[in-house]
Structure 1
Amino acid sequence: MPDNYTRSELDTPSTGRRRRFFSMNADAIGVGAEKVARFLGTGRYLMWQTVIVVVWIALNVGGLWWSWDPYPFILLNLAFSTQAAYAAPLILLAQNRQDDRDRVSLNEDRRRAAETKADTEFLARELAGVRIAVGETVTRDYLRHELDDLTDLLNRIEDKLEDQRHEHRTPETGARLDSNLDGSRDGSEG
């Protein structure tokens, strides 16, 4: 064993391309198979096949001098067998390609459904958050009630301040104010 190879390199199969004498484009063959399968499934194909069979039988039975395929119609049976031998694999190939497309489409549908579900769940969470936020906002009634409470509080504070002003007045000042009030009344009368 040469020294330049490691054990793992010898255990791993080579991935190099092999030379092929005949190269086929699998996708092109699949597209062709689908076209043939689609044609074999049409009424047009059935009509043409019926016309060919009727003409074949008519020429071989009725044509006395030109009968290339006598009564058991072995050549016609061989043609049908050959056609069936090619039609069945072509139809299967077309079905396999359709299955592959369906699988890809299904995977894409699943991915979109998962995205839609995630988006829906996100929107539901956002909506719940908005509902909670709206539930905590100040309503008009709440604000009116709070303003009424503040107004009552301010009125009580003003009343207390007024009471304190009346208590801090001296009796002389109060008497003077009373006499001034009485004097102004007297002066207005005279």
Structure 2
Amino acid sequence: MARNSKDVRLDAPKGMRAPVLVPRRRQSSDRFGRFTEWIARAMGTPWFLLGLTAFCIAWLGYNTVAPENMRFDSAALGFTALTLILSLQASYAAPLILLAQNRQDDRDRVQIEQDRQRSERNLADTEYLAREVVALRLALKDMASRDFIRQELRSLLEELEEQRDGATTDGESADRSRA
């Protein structure tokens, strides 16, 4: 049986299978989102401001200095076309910047949630390690220390020496009584 490219493969890793419930439109919205972020980043640069300023100066200069029949935007009418172009640019810039900010907010929310989960795991790990350290300390209290073992060995040696001394003195007194 030939497989269709739209068939869902559950035996393949997630990245390699066809999406089950995600519509294809999501990829284009993501592309649009990346485009809005690119526009928002570009509008926030000094180069954009310099380019827009140069464009306006060139527009005003040409429509002021050029011969009357070559001008396309009259200074007498207040440069209406330039005003409309700048208004149109501003009317599109604001929503694009808001879309980019919303995407950034979504990413920040995800990052905050991941940080919270990581902090919870770290706290749980720290608490576990603290309990283990306490358990080891309690277990070590019951263990004999080096000083305790040395003291016990010294006392055993003293007892052995006393027994040896007692045995030699008892042996000497027995030898004396035999003689």
Q: TM-score, normalised by structure 2?
A: 0.70
Partner SS state of residue 69, structure 2: coil
Counterpart in the other structure of 1:35: 38
**Distance apart, 1:29 and its partner CA:** 0.5
Please list the CA deviations of residues 89-143 of structure 1 after superposition, one character each: whole Å capped at 9, or x if unmatched: 1000000001111111111111111111111111111111222222221123322
Partner SS state of residue 112, structure 2: helix
**1:123 has 2:129 as partner:** yes
The equivalent position to 1:98 in structure 2, one of 94, 104, 112, is 104
Counterpart in the other structure of 1:135: 141
The equivalent position to 1:60 in structure 2, one of 58, 63, 82, is 63
**Distance apart, 1:28 and its partner CA:** 0.7
Structure 2: runs of 5+ lacking an equivalent: 1-20
The letter for the 1-side match of 2:61 is: A
> RMSD value over aligned CA atoms?
3.2
The equivalent position to 1:45 in structure 2, one of 44, 48, 52, is 48
Q: Output the CA distance in 2 between the equivalents of 1:23 and 1:141.
A: 72
Count residues with an aligned counterpart. 153
Change (3 A) 1:37 1:156: same
Please list the CA deviations of residues 22-75 of structure 1 after superposition, one character each: whole Å capped at 9, or x if unmatched: 998211110000001111011111111111111111111111221211121111
Change (3 A) 1:148 1:55: closer
**Distance apart, 1:155 and its partner CA:** 7.0
**1:110 has 2:116 as partner:** yes
The letter for the 1-side match of 2:85 is: A
**1:70 has 2:74 as partner:** yes
| Structure whose CA Rg is larger | 1
Structure 1: runs of 5+ lacking an equivalent: 1-16, 179-190
More displaced, 44-53 or 134-143? 134-143
The letter for the 2-side match of 1:138 is: A
Q: Output the CA distance in 2 between the equivalents of 1:156 and 1:33.
A: 95
User: Equivalent pairs: percent with the same residue?
Assistant: 39
Q: Output the CA distance in 1 between the equivalents of 2:54 and 2:41.
A: 20
The letter for the 1-side match of 2:133 is: L
Please list the CA deviations of residues 160-190 of structure 1 after superposition, one character each: whole Å capped at 9, or x if unmatched: 9x97x9xxx9xxxx98x44xxxxxxxxxxxx
Counterpart in the other structure of 2:11: none
1:130-169 superposed matches below 5 A = 130-150=136-156
The letter for the 1-side match of 2:110 is: V
Q: TM-score, normalised by structure 1?
A: 0.67
